[in-house]
Structure 1
Amino acid sequence: MAYKHLVRRALFSLGGGDPEIAHERTMAALSRLGQVRPAVRGLRALFGAKVDTTVFGVRFPGLVGLAAGMDKDGRALRAWPAMGFGHVEVGTVTRHAQPGNPRPRLFRLRESEAIINRMGFNNAGADALAARLAALGPVGVPLGISIGKSKVTPVEEAVEDYRHSLRALYPHGDYFAVNVSSPNTPGLRGLQDRAALDALVGELRREADRLAGGERVKPLLVKIAPDLTDHAIGEVLQVCADHRVAGVIATNTTLGRDGLTPAEAPTGAEAGGLSGRPLAERSRQVVALVARETGGALPIIGVGGVFDTDAATRMLDAGASLVQLYTGFVFEGPSLVRRINRAVESR
């Protein structure tokens, strides 16, 4: 409650209420915090998870992870595990550094407990992230890296764009998420079409095999949109099976606007992907569909609308092996991570 009444109120007022300024300042503060070892140790004691699980060959010291988009360039990687996260997914990162879409591009919907973003993969580029991770060393929890297409790269050249990022970052990640489902890069979602996805994932799988050099191949996952039809999801799953994809992340943000309060309809009309509580049921449905279609054989990371322990357990019961937070963490703070961890421990 202290987070909502004190910390969140202060954060939401930063920069005159501009969500992106609040995000930037929060990331800077967490980056500094991660360099203070006594503070990190204290937070670990308070928030640390106690449930170990192995998913797609990777050992996770907790079922709750940080979703991609929060720490695109890996600036606060020491802080996240201290707040109880059992894995951290950085990115989405692209081959070429890019500023993203023009501001304003991030919109907070308080009553609906949702966020609309059209950030457009703003990041410093795959090579810059690789250099930062090399200097940082081990994070302490599994590190996922989400890779996407640069805006300047034509869709027909997307494969090489993704392949460059995979090559640059392969030594540093524990798994790699192939993001073909963000609504904020022109043409990107077309890569979920069966033929395009087959070509992309096939080449990335071959590149991962080569980079492994005879050792265990690091897992490749595909992140899918909640707006796909069941038939389209089935085609994505067939591509995953054909190329031995290690898992699926369900789901990305949605272009739908169901679940918003009438008062926030004007903000809801902003272009971009919606995340948060209104997405919870659809994300859970997609998780359940993937689990059913694959007979539970394909690991799933469930993300979308996880705001409380009930939403997290429903996601796990639907078939997810792990869950991730983004908007729920913004609105509920680090105590949400602890509450979910404790609920999972008692199952």
Structure 2
Amino acid sequence: MLYRLLFTLVLRRLDAEQAHHLSFRALRLLAAIPGVLPLMRRLFAPRDPALRTRVLGLDLPGPLGLAAGFDKDATAPDALAALGFGFVEIGTLTAQAQPGNPKPRLFRLIADRAIVNRMGFNNGGSAAAAQRLRARRGQPAVVGVNIGKTKTTPEAEAVGDYVTSAKLLAGVADYFVVNVSSPNTPGLRNLQAVDQLRPLLTGVRAALDEASSRRVPLLVKIAPDLSDEDVDAVADLALELGLDGIIATNTTIGRDGLATPAAEVEAAGAGGLSGAPLKDRSLVVLRRLRARVGDRLVLVAVGGIESAEDVWQRLRAGASLVQGYTGLIYGGPLWPRRIHRDLSRRLRASGYQSLDQVVATD
């Protein structure tokens, strides 16, 4: 209720990117106070042992994680995890620092509980983020790293660009994600084509193995706008190359069926749409992937996650983990705690003893 009031009276009146920076800065300042971070973990972390899960060789306190895009530069992954997320994915990071696209570049479609972004992978570069992640030392949060292509790197040199990031970040990532599905870097989605994706994923896998003494799990993140045939092709390639999983899905370039007035949607302009309108298509892609790969790959569901019931539906459809981003913007800082609390109740009411018993029961 308090956050809803704050959002209505203050945050929605601010530029969306400015509101993000103010909120995130406040969280970082709060977490920097001695004793506050462990207190937050005690208050907000998932507590039900039945929610604990082991995925990608990682022990997680709950299945809901924060998707890439919120903490692009790995400035406060542990503070974000302390809000109650089971894991945090930072990035998207690129081999070279870049400012991203011109502002304004982040817009709310409040009637649809959605966001349009054309941020353009604004970040300080993989080397700077690797330094921050190395300085974490002993923090318990599971942190994944999401990498993309530097905008100025020609498409023909994309593999080398990704490999540079992989080598820099291999030693500080609990898992690794290759992002070829953002609509905000020209030509990036072309890399989802199997003939271009194969050498890219092969190169990143080799770089991770060379740079780290342990095997870092590798996943690829795909767009909801792929045709069914292309979804199948990426799934088959992931199996062929021995990838660990697929994240489904990134934002969409579609604008169909929105409640927001057309003029407001048009004013927001180009970019990726996230939030509630993505729910149905992301679920369709997830189900198609599960039918194609079975339990041979870890599937991570993202897109339109707002409630514990959404998480439950994705688990039953075959996801081992679920991520949110826009749900946090509209739900507030207690949102991940509420999701895990309500999911625990749903689990108990259904007679299951653990999450593993729920996955792919549809």
TM-score bucket (shorter structure): over 0.9
Residue 248 of structure 2: aligned partner: 250
Contact 1:74 1:129 in 2 (8 A): yes
Distance 2:209 2:171 in 1: 13
Q: Is there any run of 5+ residues in structure 1 with no aligned partner, and where? A: none
Residue 143 of structure 2: aligned partner: 143
The 3 A distance-change label for structure 1 pair 252 and 198 is same
Residue 238 of structure 1: aligned partner: 236
Q: Is there any run of 5+ residues in structure 2 with no aligned partner, and where? A: 348-362
Q: CA deviation at 1:166?
A: 0.6
The 3 A distance-change label for structure 1 pair 209 and 105 is same
Contact 2:171 2:212 in 1 (8 A): no
Distance 1:38 1:268 in 2: 46
Contact 2:239 2:293 in 1 (8 A): no
Contact 1:112 1:259 in 2 (8 A): no
Q: CA deviation at 1:209?
A: 2.3
Residue 355 of structure 2: aligned partner: none
Instruction: Kindly provide the CA deviation profile for residues 114-172 of structure 1, in whole angstroms up to 9, marking residues without a partner as x.
Output: 00000000000000101111223243221100000000100100001000001001111
- How many residues align? The count is 342
Distance 2:131 2:173 in 1: 13
Residue 189 of structure 1: aligned partner: 189
Query: Identity over the aligned pairs, expressed in percent?
Result: 46
Residue 59 of structure 1: aligned partner: 59
| Residue identity opposite 2:338 in structure 1 | R
Contact 2:178 2:221 in 1 (8 A): yes
Instruction: Kindly provide the CA deviation profile for residues 169-218 of structure 1, in whole angstroms up to 9, marking residues without a partner as x.
Output: 111110010000000001100000010001101111122222244x4x11
| Counterpart mapping for 1:173-212 below 5 A | 173-212=173-212
Q: CA deviation at 1:258?
A: 2.1
Q: TM-score, normalised by structure 1?
A: 0.95
Q: CA deviation at 1:7?
A: 5.0
Distance 2:33 2:12 in 1: 25
Residue 357 of structure 2: aligned partner: none
SS in 1 for 2:183: coil
Q: Supply the RMSD in Å over aligned alpha carbons.
A: 1.5
| Residue identity opposite 2:104 in structure 1 | P
Residue 37 of structure 2: aligned partner: 40
Instruction: Kindly provide the CA deviation profile for residues 278-318 of structure 1, in whole angstroms up to 9, marking residues without a partner as x.
Output: 00111111111111111132111111111112211111111
Residue 260 of structure 1: aligned partner: 258
Contact 1:109 1:264 in 2 (8 A): no
Distance 2:224 2:9 in 1: 31
Residue 166 of structure 1: aligned partner: 166
Q: CA deviation at 1:113?
A: 0.7
Contact 1:34 1:40 in 2 (8 A): yes
Distance 1:191 1:277 in 2: 27
| Counterpart mapping for 1:1-347 below 5 A | 1-7=1-7, 9-13=9-13, 17-50=14-47, 51-213=51-213, 215=214, 217-268=215-266, 270-346=269-345, 347=347
Contact 1:8 1:331 in 2 (8 A): no
Contact 1:291 1:297 in 2 (8 A): no
| Residue identity opposite 1:196 in structure 2 | Q
SS in 1 for 2:200: helix
104-113 or 50-59: bigger deviation: 50-59
Contact 1:302 1:324 in 2 (8 A): yes
Distance 1:139 1:164 in 2: 26
Distance 2:138 2:288 in 1: 35
SS in 2 for 1:78: helix
163-172 or 256-265: bigger deviation: 256-265
Contact 2:78 2:141 in 1 (8 A): no
| Residue identity opposite 2:320 in structure 1 | S
Distance 2:105 2:329 in 1: 17
| Residue identity opposite 1:48 in structure 2 | A
SS in 2 for 1:189: helix
Distance 2:325 2:303 in 1: 8
Q: CA deviation at 1:264?
A: 4.9
Contact 2:110 2:260 in 1 (8 A): no
Query: Which stretches of structure 1, 4 residues or more, deviate above 3 A after TM superposition?
Result: none
